[in-house]
């Protein structure tokens, strides 16, 4: 092979490789680029940054243990900090569908960092220095846990809190607005619109609580187990020092895995986290479907609330406006639920000492976190905050529902109350009118005052 203005020649244990002249990566990365032209999708940027964080932490531990000199470790940390800060992210081109251990991406980082340190005047080897005391088999899964924990605590939980607060504010605003409850999409006894929104806020609040409950397992890191969990080629104290550096860097309480063989043979903590993300998607699906139903219309739907008008809804029907934010969020939820199926399947692919589908687990978990965080913020700001009630429609539905006959059970019994409901529905009358017409007050089954108190729709809400 000969070098050209566009390509340079790099070497690895398998021989020569042509690499783009401007690339910071080297031979092993280039081989992976050529071997895996599959999806065009690479690791999430936040995952790349997490790998850089792990390399910086490893350099600190190696410096403290005498494996690297202060100059070498400092050069690695400086180069890694540039990547964490968002530089050079275009230097990580390997497809997510690659070797299942993530070795290709680990070497991609090793090579880029070595090139950056060399450019800064400190010549380092990707394996001997940047990857010192490490294996892809412990470094790569550690990076997934770091990325997932950082994204969950720094992005998703705050996004959920924004949505919860928006829904709770509407719960307070709508606390006195009575509406018809619905079960099976059929009329049921009254609730307040505020009660429904308080329920939505609780769904989101519990989602954040579930994430917090799962985090301790995600914060356990396999770093230090190297190839198979035994810690071969790792000096005593490496895991403790490297993980302490990661904790200091991120502000998160990372700990060393209680059992390195569990921590490398399976990815159960990430499967658990993905399950929580799926649960969040299920809850948001219910909320968004309710919002679409309540906002349906404007003349032939429920039209109990008005959602903000954000954009024209039809290319053929003038004036039509659609619930675009709930729909977008529903698609996010569908994607997250699908991602969880992938994570579950990949999580079951641990054989002996290593899971061999880690890159796709990482991609799907981190995508789910990102999508849910962004959707929660946008749904709050551009939909929930602007919801307005249609008070007359709400009250009218509540008072016309045949289910408000329910409190009369204690006066005339279930079967007689059922007759009242059916008669009112057939004649198009109110329940009150039908009770009077059927003679229950005249016969003394209940007084008119008792009837009016029983049929007070606000009192039926328990609020």
Q: Which of 11, 39, 248, 314 is catalytic?
A: 314
Contacts by 312-319, CB closer than 8 A, 24 or more apart: none
Asked if 38 and 95 touch (Cβ cutoff 8 Å), the reply is yes
131 is in an annotated binding site: no
127 is in an annotated binding site: yes
Residue that is written with structure tokens 């202060």 in the block = 70
136 is in an annotated binding site: yes
137 is in an annotated binding site: yes
101 is in an annotated binding site: yes
Angle 57-41-272 (CA atoms, 0-180°, nearest 5)?
Answer: 60
- Sequence-distant (6+) residues with CB within 8 A of 97 are 36, 38, 39, 41, 359, 360
- Sequence-distant (6+) residues with CB within 8 A of 319 are none
125 is in an annotated binding site: yes
Q: Which of 184, 274, 368, 403 is catalytic?
A: 184
128 is in an annotated binding site: yes
Number of alpha carbons in the 13 Å side-chain half-sphere of residue 342: 20
Query: How far apart are the C-alpha atoms of 136 and 123, rounded to whole Å?
Result: 22
183 is in an annotated binding site: yes
Reply yes or no on whether 184 is catalytic: yes
102 is in an annotated binding site: yes
320 is in an annotated binding site: yes
Q: What are the phi and psi torsion angles at 255 (to 5°)? A: -135, 160
Q: What are the phi and psi torsion angles at 137 (to 5°)? A: -70, -20
Asked if 155 and 369 touch (Cβ cutoff 8 Å), the reply is yes
11 is in an annotated binding site: no
Reply yes or no on whether 260 is catalytic: no
Query: How far apart are the C-alpha atoms of 442 and 25, rounded to whole Å?
Result: 91
Q: What are the phi and psi torsion angles at 188 (to 5°)? A: -135, -175
Residue that is written with structure tokens 């969020």 in the block = 329
Residue that is written with structure tokens 């200091």 in the block = 248
Which residues fall in the annotated binding site for substrate?
101-103, 125-128, 135-137, 183, 315, 320-322
Which residues fall in the annotated binding site?
101-103, 125-128, 135-137, 183, 315, 320-322
Report, as residue numbers or ranges, the catalytic residues.
184, 314
């Amino acid at each position: 092979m000969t070098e050209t203005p566009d390509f340079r020649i790099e070497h690895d244990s398998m021989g020569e490789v042509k690499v783009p002249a401007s690339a910071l990566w080297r031979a092993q990365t280039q081989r992976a680029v050529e071997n895996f032209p599959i999806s065009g999708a690479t690791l999430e940027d936040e995952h790349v940054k997490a790998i850089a964080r792990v390399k910086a932490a490893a350099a600190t531990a190696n410096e403290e243990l005498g494996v690297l000199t202060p100059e070498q470790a400092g050069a690695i940390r400086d180069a890694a900090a540039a990547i964490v800060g968002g530089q050079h992210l275009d230097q990580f081109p390997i497809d997510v569908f690659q070797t299942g251990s993530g070795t290709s991406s680990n070497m991609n980082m090793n090579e880029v960092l070595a090139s950056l340190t060399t450019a800064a005047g400190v010549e380092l080897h990707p394996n001997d220095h940047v990857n010192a005391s490490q294996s892809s088999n412990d470094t790569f899964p550690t990076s997934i846990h770091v990325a997932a924990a950082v994204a969950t605590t720094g992005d998703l939980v705050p996004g959920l809190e924004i949505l919860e607060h928006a829904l709770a504010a509407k719960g307070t605003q709508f606390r006195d607005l009575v509406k018809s409850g619905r079960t099976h999409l059929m009329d049921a006894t009254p609730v307040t619109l505020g009660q429904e929104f308080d329920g939505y806020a609780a769904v989101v609040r519990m989602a954040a609580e579930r994430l917090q409950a799962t985090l301790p397992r995600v914060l356990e890191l396999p770093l230090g187990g190297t190839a198979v969990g035994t810690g071969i080629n790792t000096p005593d104290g490496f895991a403790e020092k490297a993980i302490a550096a990661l904790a200091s860097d991120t502000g998160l309480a990372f700990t060393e895995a209680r059992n390195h063989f569990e921590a490398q043979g399976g990815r159960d903590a990430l499967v658990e986290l993905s399950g929580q993300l799926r649960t969040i998607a299920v809850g948001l699906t219910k909320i968004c479907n309710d919002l679409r139903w309540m906002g349906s219309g404007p003349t032939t739907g429920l039209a109990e609330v008005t959602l903000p008008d954000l954009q024209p809804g039809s290319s053929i029907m003038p004036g039509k406006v659609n619930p675009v934010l709930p729909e977008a969020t529903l698609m996010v939820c569908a994607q997250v639920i699908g991602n969880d199926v992938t994570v579950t399947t990949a999580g079951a692919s641990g054989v002996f000492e290593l899971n061999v589908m880690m890159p796709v687990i990482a991609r799907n978990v981190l995508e789910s976190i990102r999508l849910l965080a962004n959707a929660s913020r946008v749904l709050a700001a551009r939909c929930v905050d602007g919801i307005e009630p249609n008070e007359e429609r709400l009250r009218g539905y509540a008072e016309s529902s045949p289910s408000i006959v329910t409190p009369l059970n204690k006066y005339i019994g279930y079967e007689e109350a059922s007759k009242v409901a059916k008669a009112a529905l057939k004649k198009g009358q109110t329940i009150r009118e039908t009770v009077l017409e059927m003679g229950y007050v005249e016969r003394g089954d209940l007084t008119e005052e008792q009837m009016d108190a029983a049929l007070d729709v606000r009192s039926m809400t328990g609020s």
